[in-house]
Amino acid sequence: MKYYSTHNQSPVVDFKTAATSGQAPDKGLYFPEQIPVLPESFFREIAAMSREELAFRVIAPYVGDTIPPAELHRIVEETVNFDFPLVQVSDRIFSLELFHGPTLAFKDVGARFMSRCLGYFSRGRIGKVYVLVATSGDTGGAVADGFHNVEGVEVVILYPSGKVSSVQEKQLTTLGGNIQALEVAGSFDDCQRMVKQAFADSEVNQKLFLTSANSINVARWLSQQFYYFFAWQQWPFKDQPPVIAVPSGNFGNLCAGLVAHRSGLPAKQFIAACNANDVVPEYFRSGEYHPQPAKPTLSNAMDVGAPSNFVRMLELFGRRFDSLKALISSYSVSDEETKQTLLRVKQRYGYLTDPHGAVAFAAAEKHLSRHPADRVIFLETAHPIKFYDVVEPLIGETIAMPESVKRTVAREKKSVPIDKDYASLRAFLLALE
Ligand SMILES: *Cc1c(COP(=O)(O)O)cnc(C)c1O
């Protein structure tokens, strides 16, 4: 498999180069030359397949010969070694729980796969690989955990000060070792912009071998397909493919679902569920795309005003608005609706969502009010405990804290405060080592 840049000004590369460089030299995003179609036998055998076997068969064509099969088996086995249960919540709505991994969010999947691929690729390299990543909350923890103690890799995480939850902050600031956290006096978009500037800075790149761990990285992006297939494995209505509602910020997760669908995953439709950051719902309404500054909301991991994977969504559909609209619908959900939904789902169905899941649940209900015969799976992307600051006052109860979270919260935060101008990041990077 080869990957081209969405800007078409860089040479095509293999998986190893795409995964280790993150972004293409022309600043485009890497995109696979073909989307493989899974054979019918895959879907016939899927019910009996182990998670590892399924994940291996999905990802192997994308990796090509850059990782030997035995090694790739080990990598996917370590990537999906926790549960992905599909839980019925209401008559028509099901939750795909993606929060049973080490940092309690779906980003564990992409981060674990990517860190292990980079670990493999960095073997025998002289000099370290520096992973530079901006986080709106959950990426930081998942990347920190995924890469912690991976030899030959140093991780630098930028996060917006005061705009991530306290559990999230502890997850990304307390591991130490090869993980460093920069606390930026600004928004997630500032962090993302600074990271992009660093990748474009030739002096920094001469000194350090930089790579990105954001969802623009193909290793993170494409491995997120796994759990869409796990959902289908568990889906009880094989004659009625589900509508899939994805709480979206940078749109990496949704784009992975769209790729899975292109490979044959049965799905009737996708719902792009957004909070008040509604550039994509607006695009689906008007056909015009206008990035905006990010607005802070209760579902902070989706506070993105210029979603980086939007271009991949266009690319998948050959930039044809009509085909996009035929498969995807999009809703924006306010903080007020998010709170009401979270509380109502808890009271009526006895199911506790996190604020991101609540956005997707609300979007699922909006869809069902127009298509009452459909059945919807929403992706529950994080455990509610990660957002206990929001959830507990709302439901008037404390959420039982898993042991792993207790240990994380008790650890001491270590971060380096920096300004939101690129010069501060540059100075930090040039002083490394
Ligand atoms: C990152 C994140 C999202 C958004 O995912 P994208 O791939 O950026 O669209 C949604 N929910 C949670 C809990 C997240 O951490």
| Structure token digits, residue 62 | 């994308």
Cα 126 to averaged position of ligand 1 atoms, centre (Å): 34
Closest CA to 16 of 151, 108, 124: 124
Cα 384 to averaged position of ligand 1 atoms, centre (Å): 14
Q: What is the pLDDT of residue 125?
A: 76
Per-residue pLDDT reduced to its tens digit, 89-128: 999 999 999 999 999 999 999 999 999 999 999 887 778 8
Stated as kind and residue range, the H or E segment containing 166 is: helix 166-173
394/399 Cα distance (integer angstroms): 11
Residue 151 pLDDT level (bands cut at 50, 70, 90): confident
Q: Which residues belong to the active site?
A: 107
Per-residue pLDDT reduced to its tens digit, 3-15: 999 999 999 999 9
Which atom, in ligand 1's list, is nearest to the CA of 354? 13
Which atom, in ligand 1's list, is nearest to the CA of 137? 15
Per-residue pLDDT reduced to its tens digit, 272-286: 999 999 999 999 999
**Using N-to-C axis directions, what is the helix angle for 403-410 and 166-173, rounded to 10°?**
70
Average pLDDT score over residue span 378-403: 93
Average pLDDT score over residue span 418-426: 97
Residue 216 pLDDT level (bands cut at 50, 70, 90): confident
Contact in structure between 277 and 294 (CB atoms under 8 Å): yes
Q: What is the pLDDT of residue 4?
A: 98
How buried is residue 197: exposed, middle or buried, by Cβ count under 10 Å (0-12/13-18/19+)?
middle
Residue 189 pLDDT level (bands cut at 50, 70, 90): confident
- Pocket-forming residues, ligand 1, beta carbon under 6 Å: 105, 107, 137-138, 215, 247-254, 301-302, 356, 381-382
Q: Which residues contact 349 (CB under 8 A, 6 or more apart)?
A: 89, 90
Cα 301 to averaged position of ligand 1 atoms, centre (Å): 5
Q: Which residues contact 344 (CB under 8 A, 6 or more apart)?
A: none
Write the residue with the smallest CA distance to atom 14 of ligand 1: 301
Per-residue pLDDT reduced to its tens digit, 323-336: 999 999 999 999 99
Cα 248 to averaged position of ligand 1 atoms, centre (Å): 6
Write the residue with the smallest CA distance to atom 15 of ligand 1: 138
- pTM, full prediction: 0.93
203/432 Cα distance (integer angstroms): 13
Contact in structure between 82 and 99 (CB atoms under 8 Å): no
Pairing of strands 179-184, 416-418: parallel
Torsion of CA 39, 44, 47, 48, to 10 degrees: -90
| Structure token digits, residue 237 | 């209505």
Which atom, in ligand 1's list, is nearest to the CA of 252? 7
Beta bridge partners of 247: 273
Residue 411: CB atoms within 10 A of its CB come to 13
Cα 32 to averaged position of ligand 1 atoms, centre (Å): 22
Cα 139 to averaged position of ligand 1 atoms, centre (Å): 8
| Structure token digits, residue 219 | 């290793």
Q: What is the pLDDT of residue 3?
A: 98
Which atom, in ligand 1's list, is nearest to the CA of 253? 7
Write the residue with the smallest CA distance to atom 1 of ligand 1: 301
Residue carrying structure tokens 């005061």:
162
Q: What is the pLDDT of residue 139?
A: 87
Q: What is the pLDDT of residue 402?
A: 87
362/383 Cα distance (integer angstroms): 17
Which atom, in ligand 1's list, is nearest to the CA of 256? 7
Q: Which residues contact 373 (CB under 8 A, 6 or more apart)?
A: none
Query: Which percentage of the chain shows pLDDT scores above 90?
Result: 85
Closest CA to 169 of 393, 413, 389: 413
| Mutational pocket test of ligand 1: of 138, 223, 225, the residue with most ligand atoms within 8 Å of the beta carbon | 138
